[in-house]
Amino acid sequence: MGDTEDEFKVKPQEEEKEKLIEDPKEDPLPNKKRKRIGAGIAISLCMLLFLYFGITKYFTNHFCFESEINSVDVTGKTIEEAKGLILQKYSLNLKEREGKTEQIKASDVGLKYSSEEEFIKLKNSQNPFGWVLASFKAKNTKMSVEFSYDNDLLNERIDRLACFNSSKFTEPKNASFKYSDFAYVIVDEVPGNKVAKDVLSNLVANALSKGETEIDLESAGAYIRPEYTSKSEKTIEARDLLNKYVSAKIDYTFGEAKESLEGSTIHQWLEVDQNFEVKLNESKAKDYIDALSKTYNTVGMTRSFATSSGTTINIGGGDYGWSINVAKETQNLIAAIKEGQTITKEPDYSQKAFSLSHENKDIGNTYVEIDLTKQHVWFYKDGSLIVQGNVVTGNLGTGHATPQGVYRLKYKQSNTVLKGSDYAVPVTFWMPFNGGIGLHDASWRSEFGGRIYETNGSHGCVNMPSNVAKTIFDNIDVNTPIICN
């Protein structure tokens, strides 16, 4: 058994030896394969070298891979081809509001290169033998060139832009103010879409020179913007000042009558100028005071007057009565409005009636009445007759008749000399009421009344007996009405 097992174990080793003896007969076949592979590699290397040098030769006159000029791919282009391609593709895009766009092409403005040396420099900086590595590095593959353009063509193109068509843009408007419910509110501004031509022209010129391809008009600040918006400090200040003015309320009193001025009228006098300064129209304030004066001034008005003779007459003319000082009261009113005052007041008067009454009752019950026909005078004080008597008034024959009307006593003076072109007479009691015409004693006369005035009257004054003149002089006050009827 043991021998048999040994024989079994040895047999495979012998078979292996036999195989080893046979292998040398098969060896020539792999050597042929190696030769073929070697030949293939050599051919391939030759082809690669041929291709490499061929491409190298090509890139001697053409831009290498990844070459960009002004963001235009010029790979494989000659300098002349690159120059043409860049101009062909160049377009300046104008990005406008509401998603609108416009373009300015190179041909529109006669665009050309400021210098062509940059192309040569870029091409010369590229090693044609390094074309394989060009794809992996940016150095010497990218650059920008500057342009020049025809100014006249540029201006013409800008003029033709749709954004400058007046029918297609909206003017910007500042915030404004509206008077509503007794107060001012701010009305929002209108942004509009009008472009500032000078600004856009400069932006376009700069972009063209640098070869830039887009301008966002909004972010570049090319749109004309409202100077004052609803959020501007100046706008808010103006609104607050307007509301201060219209908060004023002025009640004017005229005896029992009253006139009220408030915001509903005042707001019509207010303006806001282009610098958002609030202006109060002073001429309109004056018109308001003028209207009050026409209604409540009584100087020269026709009055109904109950005479001492028992008749009621209508008499006008003269200088007696209420007269508003329009200039001064206008300024008072403007000041009250600007301070936002709420007040009740009388207007400032240049002249007041002697009586506190207004309108047709302003004569009151203290006055001097002169009946030019009856040649008689009456003096009442607080409704009581103080004195009366005959008088001599202006000479009708010489054209010196005493004027009718309601006047006021200007002043009173004792012991003075009255002078004229042909007279100089001393009087003890002088009470002027109409220029050089007044009440006075006339010691040179021995009689008064009747028809003396028709041929031997005064130069217009009212001559009175001394006792009558003295009584009136001692009891009368300045501004007392003098009625000549």
What is the 3-class SS of the chain, one letter each residue? CHHHHHHHHHHHHHHHHHHHHHHHHCCHHHHHHHHHHHHHHHHHHHHHHHHHHHHHHHHHCCCCCCCEECCEECCCCCHHHHHHHHHHHCEEEEECHHHCEEEEEHHHCCCEECCCHHHHHHHHHCCHHHCCHHHHCCCCCEECCCEECCHHHHHHHHHCCHHHCCCCCCCCECCEEEEECCEEEEECCECCCCECHHHHHHHHHHHHHHCCCEEECCCCCCECCCCCCCCCHHHHHHHHHHHHHHCCEEEEEECCEEEEECHHHHHHHEEECCCCCEEECHHHHHHHHHHHHHHHCCCCCCEEEECCCCCEEEECCCCCCCEECHHHHHHHHHHHHHCCCEEEECCCEEECCCCCCCHHHCCCCCEEEEECCCCEEEEEECCEEEEEEECECECCCCCCCCCCEEEECCCCEEEEEEECCCCEEEEEEEEEEECCEEEEECCCCCCCCCCHHHHHCECCCEEECHHHHHHHHHHCCCCCEEEEC
Please give the positions annotated as active site: 440, 461
